Structure 1
Amino acid sequence: MKKIQVWLVAILMAAGLGLLAPGPAVADSYCGLVWGSLVKADPAMSQAKVVNVRTGQHYCFDRLVIDLNGAVAGYTVGYVKEVGQDGSGAPIPLRGQAFLHVTVNAPAYDDSGKPTYNPADKNELSTVTGYQTFRQVAWAGSFEGYTSLGLGVRARLPFRVFTLAGPDTGTRLVIDVAHFW
């Protein structure tokens, strides 16, 4: 009986000192992401060429990947009211409630004008049916050394942009858009 009383006193003292009480509530960002939704850009020009566009789903975000056959050297990614066709500026219809204009400072054609990336369906570069954030990836063109895409998303959500090495001697421009704030 004495052991029970000792344990009870120890538990009550620990609770009184705050050792067993829960800590203060802290609001964490979604999945620990601390991205924003402002324009992200690097003004450099690339000698590489765009060769592929693909997408993927992750636990906390959807991912757009643009493959180049050399080093990625520049880009601009930001939310716009509408994405315009390269050269003409004609609006590109996109599904979603918000639109990212993705520009890679690299052409999708070689030095003789032959396409290095020529999508079969310019309105659907990748099937994003069932994605949590992406609604559509569309071609906006490749003009005067720049290649542009329109990315329709379900809302204006935080995103990040970075580059990765590979495959082989190429590089990848990566755009991740969070599922939530």
Structure 2
Amino acid sequence: MRRIFSVLVALSALATMLTLVVTAAPAGSTPSYCGLVWGSLPESNPVGTTAALTDIRSGRHECFDRLVFDLSGPVSGYHVGYVDRVTMDGSGAPVPLRGGAFLSVAVYAPAYDSAGNSTYHPADRAELTGVTGYSTFRQVAWAGSFEGQTTVGLGVRARLPFRVFTLDGPGSGSRVVLDVAHYW
């Protein structure tokens, strides 16, 4: 009986020590998902361009889903933020989107050339790029190109952290890139 009591006391002491070790770690020491340190507040770069939008494409990565805007010339500015509802440029009509949260993605570049001819020709304005099977993206839909700005609605699974940046190339073109994390 004494041996059972000793074992129970030892197990209790071990459980107490483990609890102290787990709770003693500072809250900030736990790394974020995949080491990402992004947030969910709006991001913007106010620089515009006359380079036209030529394509929108998407990709899946281990820790995030990616949306890329290809431009025919030097990199452009952008404004990306979570909204209650994405609206069409010019008219303000709502853009129907699937998902638990919605990002309004405005790229400060037209989707037409100087003669007014379209430079981006989506096959389906409600599904600009196929995102079936993506972890975060639910739908990418056209919201218009008006007065030198092109807007897209991005439906995502939930309000998740994101980042936006620009890249030069390929060639004389450039890209605006939006990554949305799979988790916090």
TM norm structure 1: 0.86
Task: State the distance in 2 between where 1:146 and 1:164 align.
Answer: 18
> 1:164, CA displacement in angstroms?
1.1
1:93-172 mapped onto 2 (5 Å cutoff): 93-172=96-175
2:79 corresponds to which residue?
A: 76
2:69 corresponds to which residue?
A: 66
2:49 corresponds to which residue?
A: 46
1:33 corresponds to which residue?
A: 36
> 1:33, CA displacement in angstroms?
0.2
SS in 1 for 2:34: helix
Paired amino acid for 2:33:
Y
Task: State the distance in 1 between where 2:75 and 2:171 align.
Answer: 14
Deviations 1:87-137 (A, max 9, x none): 100000000000000001110000010000021100000000000000000
Paired amino acid for 2:155:
G
Q: What is the percentage of aligned positions where both structures have the same residue?
A: 65
Deviations 1:119-169 (A, max 9, x none): 110000000000000000000010111000000000000000001111211
SS in 2 for 1:31: helix
1:86 corresponds to which residue?
A: 89
1:165-180 mapped onto 2 (5 Å cutoff): 165-180=168-183
Q: For structure 1, list consecutive stretches of 5 or more residues without a partner in the other structure.
A: 1-21
> 1:53, CA displacement in angstroms?
0.2
Task: State the distance in 2 between where 1:139 and 1:73 align.
Answer: 18
Q: For structure 2, list consecutive stretches of 5 or more residues without a partner in the other structure.
A: 1-20
- Aligned pairs, how many? 160
Paired amino acid for 2:43:
K
